Amino acid sequence: MAELKITLKRSVIGRPQNQKDTAKALGLNKIGKSVVKPVNDAITGMVKTISHLVEVEEVK
């Protein structure tokens, strides 16, 4: 099953509350922090919400 490596590249300071909550739910609390999550509809939607703040790579 494919997985996504999601890295926070930009700060959530000054962003709308839903974007801050999404980053926190993914486990991203500091710039440069990375998490690996499985590919599913919920994670994909969360990544789309904060796509301008993160960098996403596919991991096998």
pLDDT for position 15: 97
Confidence at residue 60, expressed as pLDDT on a 0 to 100 scale: 85
Which class would CATH give 3-55? alpha beta
User: pLDDT digits over 12-49, tens only?
Assistant: 999 999 999 999 999 999 999 999 999 999 999 999 99
Name the pTM for this structure.
0.91
Q: Tokens 């509809």 appear where?
A: 41
